[in-house]
Chains A and B, each alone.
Chain A
């Protein structure tokens, strides 16, 4: 049986972007699931379970990230990450108008 694969695109919405604390929250969730996961920003693709690699993305507010998960609970992982990035916005404020 093929391993389930799930993909989505999310947009960074908090003003400060994907700095270290948000990146840590992201990696924490990614490591709770039994999936491999890649995150792409433009031409850069990194391992979504590595804080060092995620910190390399320099994703500013408005940046769109492609997230691809592979594993039995890929769909749940993608949903959890989408919620973290777009709905909870890492618990941070959006840009001031």
Chain B
């Protein structure tokens, strides 16, 4: 793999919108909080927050993005964004995401992708899955206590593909 070409977390994660404690075990309210955080950070344009929240939940109803091992990657394509934008939320109590392995989710990576550039979405997914399939990364992510630690971990992962 040519790692030099891989997208970085810092290319698409909005660090101002990460939520270290989602404080809810309800999937829809967790999604709503993360979309609102991106909206408050000014990433979604005027008046799109509710529509995008609904679109992410609708997508989730089609097939769960709970990929197993405590991670979910809810996502949707939406015309409100011109490039991939994402954020991260953590939850100590465990969220019911109807995950593939039927286990609760503790780390949520939300992704909103543009309609016209499917390749950008795939590149962001590649970056996310390269790391979340590694136990070390999943553990470090889940242990983050605040937004700074999440930002530090993701930036470290940008420098160290083996994390």
Q: Which residues of A come within 8 Å of B, CB atoms?
A: 15-21, 24, 42-44, 50-53, 55-61
Contact = CB atoms under 8 A, between A and B. Distances in A.
B119 A56 contact: no
B121 interface: yes
A55 B125 contact: yes
B67 A58 contact: no
B123 A58 contact: yes
Contacts of B129: 52-53, 55-56
Given A16-B118, A20-B65, A57-B126, A52 B1 contact: no
B63 interface: yes
B118 A18 contact: no
B130 interface: yes
B44 to A, nearest CB: 21
A17 B126 CA distance: 12
A66 B24 CA distance: 43
Contact of A51 (B1, B67, B118, B121): B67
Given A43-B1, A52-B68, A17 B122 contact: yes
Given A17-B118, A42-B1, A52 B126 contact: no
A68 B128 CA distance: 25
A59 B68 contact: no
Contacts of B68: 51-52
B93 interface: no
B41 interface: no
Given A52-B68, A55-B129, A60 B1 contact: no
